[in-house]
Amino acid sequence: MGATRAGLDAVRQALHIGALSFATNFSLPMASSSIVITGGFGALGSAIGTAAAEAGARVCLIGHGAAPATGADLPANVLCMGGVDLTDPHAANAALQQAAQALGGLDALVNVAGGFQWQTVGGDAFDAWDRMYSMNLKTAVVATRAALPWLRARASARIVNVGAMAALSATAGMGAYAASKAGVLKLTEALAAELADEGINVNAVLPSIIDTPQNRRDMPDADTRNWVRAQDLARVVLFFLGPDSAAVTGAALPVTLGPRAEKFSG
């Protein structure tokens, strides 16, 4: 009995040390990585950029609007490039070239750029469909094309696309948005197949509603308890950027739990 108890104690100790080692060394695989994040000035883009930089990566955030002022709530070593229209291939090529040269190459691209517009199919405005296509899908295609020459120069590279659960199931008024995010999902699958032999893994995350200041303003009466926090989604993106996902490509991972997910994390 004593020997059995001693053995169990040894196993528990080994598991405890292993868990601590994983938590402590989680950041180490990112230390030599150079990452570009589109839509980098929004709540999710900045959360991913902050998490990656804190894990040791070199990060450049690219956004359509003006770059955050110096001293904003971002790590000091994060580069910010504003005023970039990622629907314009020439602008995207120039931005990705500038970012890759500043970072010393490019290991990963995270396509966050996008937006949302509610519009019923029977509504008067068709511009929602063009706008959602341009913001959510075209930006991902154009940024990826601009990044590929740099990603191909690496032995192992990553592309992570931010889709949405709406790509799998849409509700009223979500047609344009859901269609564009379904396009992101299929883009992910196609790119994974095209780039599999080149050592570039392509995956997507499919969040439900992300808990951002903008979403809270737009839905002031909503129950936010199960909204996904940006920092939690950022951790999932970091998994796809790291070595533990080396055998995964073409995946679309739903991310749908709010703060209550903490009780499962120990």
Beta-ladder partners of 211: 229
- Contact in structure between 106 and 34 (CB atoms under 8 Å): yes
Other CB atoms within a 10 A radius of the CB of residue 152 amount to 13
Would you give the distance in Å from CA 84 to the centre of its chain? 18
Catalytically active residues, by annotation: 177
Question: 157 φ, ψ to 5°?
Answer: -130, 165
- In sequence order, the 6+-apart residues with CB closer than 8 A to the CB of 260 are 225, 226
Rounded Cα gap, residues 49 and 38, in angstroms: 10
* Radius of gyration (C-alpha) of the chain in whole angstroms: 20
Q: What residues are paired with 59 via a beta bridge?
A: 35
